[in-house]
Structure 1
C-alpha cells in the first residue's frame, strides 16, 4: 500500500494534519486538499479537539504550492472544468481554515509558496523558523495570486502595525521572497521558533497547548526585515489602483535601487497576469470578506487558465525549467484591461 499524501491523527486534544508528499515538496493535489477538508470537518464540532496542528514531513519545507503541473496537463487536454473543480476545493479549504472556530497552528520550516501560504496563513498561529521563506510567484507562470492572498495580504498588519494594499501589490507582482523577519513584519507569520527547537515546541504544544508552547519557545529575528527598508518606496510606487498607474509611479520613482530591483524581479512576469493581479487585488481589498475575494480569484484564475499563457508559463518555470516564456500579449500596454474588469464585474 502507498503512503497517504496527508497523515491525520489525534494526539491528546490536538488534531494533527501532516503534509506527506515530500518528493513534490508537498505540492497540493486534489486528494490532499480533500483529506484536509475532511479532517477539518470532522474536528470542527468535536469537543475533544481543542486545536489543530499543520506540519510537513519534508525536510526541505512546508509546501511549495498547488500542483499546477497537473492542472496544466488537464488544461492542455481541454479538461478545464476538472481544473476549475480543483481550485473550488482548494479555496473551500482556505475558507474553512479561516473560519475554523479553534486555534490552527502551522509550522513552516523551509519553502512556503502559493498554495502553501493558503494552507498556513489563514490559521490563528503561523509559526516559522529561521529556515523559512515565502513567496507568491504566480506572475511567472501566467496565473494570478490566489488562495485568499489577494484579501489576506492587504489585511495583514504584522509588526509594521498597519494594513497595506501597496504591500500586497508589491508582494504579488514581484514574487518577493520573504525571509522570517519579513514574514513577521508583513504579517504572514505570527511567531518565530528556532528549527532546532521544533520537536520540543511541538511536544509542549500538544501536551500543554499553543499558548504555553509560544511562551516557552518563541523568539525574535536577529536582523531587521529587508522589506522595511523599502517601506517608503513600496507605498509610493505600489499604492495605486491600476497597473498603468503603478508603472508610471515606478518609472518616476526616486529610489533607483528599488526601481532596478522591481524591474529585475518582474522581467519574466506574464503581462496579462500583472494587469489582472492589480485589478484582482483592488477588487478583493474592497470585498466584504474572504469568501467574496476567493470568488474573484476563482473567476479570474479560471479565465486566465483558458489562455495559452498558463500552459506556457508552467512549462518555462516547472516543466522544462528554461525560464524563457513567450507570453501573448508580450507587453502590459497590449493587455485588454476592460476584459479583465468584466471578468470581475
Structure 2
C-alpha cells in the first residue's frame, strides 16, 4: 500500500454505545502509521466530535506486540530516495496536524497501550488525558538513532516531565517500562492487557471515564529510571551535548554503571540529531503546543533534504548493519549555527498547526 491509498484494512473504527473505538490494525508492521491511516483517523475524530452520542474515544493496537511503533519511516525513506520530497513533506504535515488535533480534542481520549509505543505512536497517545499502560508497555523516542529527532509534539511534552528526564529520553532514545512510565507521568494508569476488553465495555456504557479505567490492579514499581533520577538531573542539566557527556563520563569514572551505559548509548547516536534534540529541550518550555509542532516541522523538512535520516534508516531498518555513516561523524564537527538555523522559518509557505 502506498501512503496515499485508503487505509480500510489498516485501521478500524467502531461505535460502541457512548464510545468511539479506534483499532490500529497493522500488526505485522507494529501498527506503524501510514499516511492513509493518519488521514482516516483525523476524519473519524472530526465525525465523532460532531456526534453528541459519542462522549469519549479510545485507541488501541492490534496484535499484542505494539500499540504503535511510530510513523511509517520506511515509506518516507522510499519517497525521499525517489526524490518525492513534496510527498515526504505531506506525510509529516499530516502526522503533525493529527497530533495537534488530538492534543486539543474536546472529548476524553483514552489510549490502551500494550507493547511498544514509540515515535508517532507516542504522538497519538501521550497528549491525551488517559494513557493506560499494560504489563508489556515499552515507551521510547529513539529517533536520534536514525538521524531524526523526537518529534510529534515531544518538543512540548518531554521538557515538561520531572527534572531532566525528558532531556535524557530525547538524547538517548532509552526504553521505559510501565513502572517508570507511571512514576514520571508518561502513563496515567495501569491495567493488565487481559482487562482491556472490560475497560472498553465500561467506557461504552457511558459512566465516568476515570471509574471505567480503574481495574484495581496493583501498579508495578518504579525501576532503574527513577532510581537514577539524581544522576540524570545532574548530568542532563549540562549546557551542551558535550557537557552532558562529560558529566556522564565523570560519574562513570566514579563507579556509575548507569552513567557509563548512558554515555556509550549516546555515542552511538547521530551527532547532529543529538544537537537538535538538546536544542528542542532548551526551547520547548517556552513554546505552546502548536508552536512546538511548527518548530518540529521546520526541522524535519530540512533534515529530509540531508543525508543522516536516510543513512540512519538504511543502517537500522533496511540493511540492518548497525553501521551508519553519520555526516558529520563527530560532535566536534557539528555546525551549531546550522542547527539553530534549522529551527528558523522556512523560505516558503508553512502549514498551520494551530
**TM-score normalised by the shorter chain: which range applies?**
over 0.9
Structure 2 runs not aligned, ≥5 long? 1-5, 345-354
- Secondary structure of the residue aligned to 1:221 is coil
- Secondary structure of the residue aligned to 1:252 is helix
Q: CA deviation at 1:57?
A: 1.7
Which protein has the bigger helix share? 1
**Pair 1:229 & 2:227 matched:** yes
Q: Which residue does the alignment assign to 1:324?
A: 323
**Pair 1:79 & 2:84 matched:** yes
Number of residues paired by the alignment?
336
Q: Which residue does the alignment assign to 1:211?
A: 210
CA contact (8 A) 1:191 1:218 kept: no
Render the CA deviation track for 1:318-342: whole Å, top value 9, x for unaligned.
1111111111111011000111101
Structure 1 runs not aligned, ≥5 long? 157-162
- Secondary structure of the residue aligned to 2:117 is strand
- Structure 1 residues 306 and 167, CA gap change in structure 2 (3 angstroms): same
Q: CA deviation at 1:2?
A: 8.7
Q: Which residue does the alignment assign to 1:172?
A: 170
**Pair 1:196 & 2:194 matched:** yes
- Secondary structure of the residue aligned to 2:31 is coil
- Structure 1 residues 128 and 218, CA gap change in structure 2 (3 angstroms): farther
CA distance in 2, matches of 1:222, 1:103: 25
Q: CA deviation at 1:202?
A: 1.9
- Say what the alpha-carbon RMSD is for the aligned residues: 1.7
Render the CA deviation track for 1:72-130: whole Å, top value 9, x for unaligned.
11111222221111111111111111101110001011111111101111111001101
Please report the TM-score for the alignment, with normalisation by the length of structure 2.
0.91
**Pair 1:274 & 2:262 matched:** no
- Structure 1 residues 212 and 340, CA gap change in structure 2 (3 angstroms): same
Q: Which deviates more, 198-207 or 123-132?
A: 198-207
CA distance in 2, matches of 1:218, 1:167: 28
**Pair 1:187 & 2:185 matched:** yes
- Structure 1 residues 104 and 142, CA gap change in structure 2 (3 angstroms): same
CA distance in 1, matches of 2:304, 2:171: 18
Please report the TM-score for the alignment, with normalisation by the length of structure 1.
0.93
- Secondary structure of the residue aligned to 2:132 is strand
**Pair 1:11 & 2:22 matched:** no
Render the CA deviation track for 1:21-63: whole Å, top value 9, x for unaligned.
1111111110010011001111123211100010112221110
- Secondary structure of the residue aligned to 1:200 is helix
